[in-house]
Amino acid sequence: MPDSYLAVRLEALRRAQASGGGWGYFPGKQAWLEPTAYAAMALLGEPAADKAWALLQSWQMSDGSWKPSADVQLANWGTSLCVTLAIARGEWGDPLRKGVAWLLGSAGVESNWINRAAARVGLLNAGRDLSLKGWPWKEGTSSWVEPTSHALVALKKVTASKSAVGGSSLSERIQSGEAQLLDVRCSDGGWNYGSRAVLDDDLRSYPETTGIALLGLQGVKAAGKSIDLALKMVQGSVSPMARAWLTVALRLHGVQSPALTGPETPDVLITALEALAAPEGNYRLMQTESAT
Amino acid sequence: MKSDRREFLAVAGASVVAGYAGWRGGTDERPAPKAALGRSSVAVVKAASYSVDLVSRMLEGIKECGLDVRGKKVLLKPNLVEFDPATCINTEVSVVAAAYETFRTLGAAEVRIGEGPGHRRDTYALAEMARYRTEIPKFDSLFVDLNRDDVSPIQRFADRKEIYLPNTALGADLIVSLAKMKTHHWAGATLSMKNYFGLVPGSVYGWPKNELHHIGIPRSIVELSRVFRRSFAIVDGVVGMEGNGPIQGTPKPVGVLVMGSDLPAVDSTCCRIMGIDPARVEYLSMAADVLGVTDESRIDQRGEAIRSVRSDFNLIKEFRQIRLA
C-alpha cells in the first residue's frame, strides 16, 4: 500500500482516471482539460499520462487553441497548460506549434489600440498600464493574473527549448506579460485575481493567485519582494489549493517551503497540484529557463 | 449613469476594461417585448439577529408567498464570494442552514447547496472560512461547486449564441437565491438577481466571470434571471453591507429577511428598504414588466411595511443619484 504523501496522491489520481483518459474535477464527473493536464503532469511517464495526452490532443481545435472539455466549443486559457504538457512530453509537432501560435495571437482586449489611445488622452483610467499585454480566460475578454501566468510558463519553456517554435514575438510577449503581472501586484506584495485596486481602494491579495503569479515570474528579480509574503501565506492559508500553488512557486524560486501535510481530498485538481508540489513531485515541469 | 468617457468607448465599440474600471461593456439592447404581468407578493419578516429562530421566520414568509415545494428538487444558492473577518460579504451561515431545514420541512424531495464564487478558486476553503463546512451538517455531501460542475449549453444569451451552465442548476426544479443585501460598486445593489452570477461556471468563463462584464453587467443579470425563472428569493438583510460593496463595504444591520417568487419584486423591495430607487437601478428597470414587477403599487407587501424597516444604506459617490427620494 502506498503511504507517502506523493504516493497516496498519485494512486488516487490513477484510480480517478476515466476510461476515456481524462479526469473530471471530481471522480466520476465529466473530464475537463484543467484537472486532466495537471494529473498528466503529475503522472508523466506512466501509461495514464499517455492516455490523457491522447485525449487532450483530440480537444485541440482547428485554430490551435484547446477547448476546456469535450462538449464546450470555446477556445480556452488551458491551451497554456497543454503547451507546457506537450513540452514536458517532448512533443514538438504540430499541436505544439499551433498552440504556441494561438497563444501569441491571444491577448486581453483591454490592451487594444482604442483603449490605449483613450488612456493616452485621459479618457480612460483603467488603473493599469494598457500598453502591456496579458492573457484572458476566454477570448474576447480582459487579461487576468492566472491565465497570464500560465501562458508565461508555457512560452518561457518554448524559449528555453531554443526551438524554432514561436518566432520573434515570443520574447516581446513574455516581457510584456511579466510587466503586466508586476503592474497589477497589490500593495501588500501579492496578487488579487487581476487588479490591485477597485475605485481607488486597495484589494487584498489571495494566496492561490499569489502562488500562480510567482510561477509566471520565475527569473524576474522584481518578484523577489513577494517571496516573504508567499512564505507567510503557505503557512497561514486554509486552502490546500493555495498551499500547493505557493509551494510549487516557492520551490521554483529556489526557496525552501514547509512540507505539505494533510489528508487526501476527493478534489482531483487539488490532488494533482499536491502531487506536483511534493518534494519529489513533478513541479519542475513548470520550471522555466530563468528559474534558480 | 453613462459618462462621456463611457459614451466615447461605446461608440468605439470597446467594451474592454470591465472589471478594472467599471466599464459595463456589451450592448445596450434591452429585452423585448414587455409583457403585462400581474401582481406579486413579497414578504418582509423581521429578524433582529442571526440567533433568532430563522426557520420559523422563513416558514412564515414562504407561507405568505404561497410557495409549494413538495416533491421538488431544490438548489439553495447562497452568496459566497470571498471571506474577510472584518466585514460581512457572504450570506450568513445560519441563514443557509435555516433555509436547508426550512425546505426539508416543507417537503422538498431534495435540497442541495450550490455556489460558484467569482473570485476564489478553492470554493471548499472559502466555505470553510465562512463556517459553512463546520456549521451546516453534512455540508460536503450537500454542496456542489458550480464553478466545476458538469455543464450543458443553453442557446441564446444576450448577444451570445449560447452560454454553458451547470447541470445541477439546470436540473433543479427550484433555485432559491439566498442573497445578501449589499450595495454594489458596478451595479448599485446586489440582491437576489445579481446573486445568479454564481451560477456561471468558472471552468468555462474564468475567475472572475469576465464574459458577463463584457456582455454588460445589467444585461447579464437580467439574462440569468430569464434562464432560471423557477426561482424563489430569500434575501439576508439581517446584516447587510453598505458603501463600497460587494466586498469592501461595511456591515449595515437592518434586521430583515425579504422573500418572494418574483425576483425583480423582491429586489425592488430590498432597494426601497435600503433607500435606493429601484427605477434607477439599471437591471431592475430592464427587468420591470419583463421578468417581474418592480412598481410598488403592484407588489402585495406581506409582513412588515417597508417604511417600518427602511434603513438607508451609504452609497458611494458613483451611485448617489440612485438614492430614493
Q: Could you tell me which chain B residue has the CA closest to the CA of A126? A: B21
Residue A285 has pLDDT above 60, yes or no: yes
d(CA B44, CA B279): 20
For chain A, give the percent of residues with pLDDT over 70.
98
Check residue A123 and give its pLDDT: 87
Indicate the average pLDDT of chain A.
Answer: 94
The label of the residue with cell 502562488 reads: A211
Q: Do B214 and A141 touch (CB under 8 A)?
A: yes
The enclosing domain of B156 has a CATH number of 3.40.50.11440
d(CA A159, CA B148): 33
> Any CB–CB contact under 8 A between B128 and chain A?
yes
d(CA A15, CA A3): 15
Residue B251 has pLDDT above 80, yes or no: yes
Partnered with residue A2 across adjacent β-strands are: none
Residue B15 has pLDDT above 80, yes or no: no
Q: Is residue B30 part of a domain?
A: no
Residue A178 has pLDDT above 90, yes or no: yes
Give me the mean pLDDT over the B24-29 stretch. 36
- Longest CA pairwise span in chain B (Å): 55
Check residue A104 and give its pLDDT: 97
Check residue B7 and give its pLDDT: 34
Residues constituting chain A: 292
Range of the domain at B213: 40-322
Residue A122: burial class (beta carbons within 10 Å; 0-12, 13-18, 19+): exposed
> Any CB–CB contact under 8 A between A64 and chain B?
no
pLDDT digits (tens, 9 = 90+) for A21-66: 999 999 999 999 999 999 999 999 999 999 999 999 999 999 999 9
Q: Range with the lowest mean pLDDT among A123-132, A259-268, A269-278?
A: A123-132
The dihedral sign for the CA sequence B122, B126, B128, B133: negative
Task: Report which DSSP code applies to B14.
Answer: -
Check residue B25 and give its pLDDT: 34
Which of the four pLDDT bands, split at 50, 70 and 90, describes residue A200?
confident
Q: Please, which residues 26-45 of chain A have a Cβ atom closer than 8 Å to chain B?
A: 26, 29-30, 32, 34
Partnered with residue B175 across adjacent β-strands are: B75, B231
B8: chain A residues, CB-CB within 8 Å: 118, 123
Residue B30 has pLDDT above 90, yes or no: no
Check residue A2 and give its pLDDT: 52
Give me the mean pLDDT over the B268-292 stretch. 97
Which of B281, B198, B269 lies closest to B45 in space, CA to CA?
Answer: B269
Cβ-nearest to A141 among B8, B128, B211: B211
A240: chain B residues, CB-CB within 8 Å: 122, 125
Check residue A292 and give its pLDDT: 40
Give me the mean pLDDT over the A244-254 stretch. 97
Q: Please count the structural domains in chain B.
A: 1
Beta strand B73-78 pairing with A201-202: unpaired
pLDDT digits (tens, 9 = 90+) for B89-145: 999 999 999 999 999 999 999 999 999 999 999 999 999 999 999 999 999 999 999
Give residue B95's identity as a one-letter amino acid code: V
Q: Is residue B32 part of a domain?
A: no
Check residue B20 and give its pLDDT: 57
Check residue A198 and give its pLDDT: 84
Q: ∠ CA B62-B221-A24 to the nearest 5 degrees?
A: 90
Q: What are phi and psi of B78, to 5 degrees?
A: -75, 170
Check residue B37 and give its pLDDT: 73
Check residue B324 and give its pLDDT: 97
- Interface confidence, given as ipTM, is 0.95
d(CA B97, CA A216): 40
Give Cα separations from A48 to A52, A268, B175 (angstroms): 6, 15, 39
Domain ranges for chain A: 5-286
Check residue A201 and give its pLDDT: 84
Which of B253, B224, B267, B238 lies closest to B312 in space, CA to CA?
Answer: B253
pLDDT digits (tens, 9 = 90+) for A64-105: 999 999 999 999 999 999 999 999 999 999 999 999 999 999
> Any CB–CB contact under 8 A between B57 and chain A?
no
Distance of CA B10 to the CA centre of its chain: 27
Check residue B36 and give its pLDDT: 52
**Comparison of pLDDT for B228 and A200, the residue scoring more:** B228
B220 vs chain A: nearest CA distance in angstroms? 15
**Comparison of pLDDT for A128 and A273, the residue scoring more:** A273
Q: Which residues contact A288 (CB under 8 A, 6 or more apart)?
A: A152, A153, A156, A157, A159, A160, A218, A219, A252
Which of the four pLDDT bands, split at 50, 70 and 90, describes residue A289?
low
> Any CB–CB contact under 8 A between B316 and chain A?
yes
The dihedral sign for the CA sequence A129, A132, A136, A142: positive
Q: Are A127 and B21 in contact (CB under 8 A)?
A: yes
pLDDT digits (tens, 9 = 90+) for B215-242: 999 999 999 999 999 999 999 999 999 9
pLDDT digits (tens, 9 = 90+) for B46-91: 999 999 999 999 999 999 999 999 999 999 999 999 999 999 999 9
Q: Are B93 and B130 in contact (CB under 8 A)?
A: yes
Give me the mean pLDDT over the A134-162 stretch. 95
CATH topology of domain A5-286: Glycosyltransferase (1.50.10)
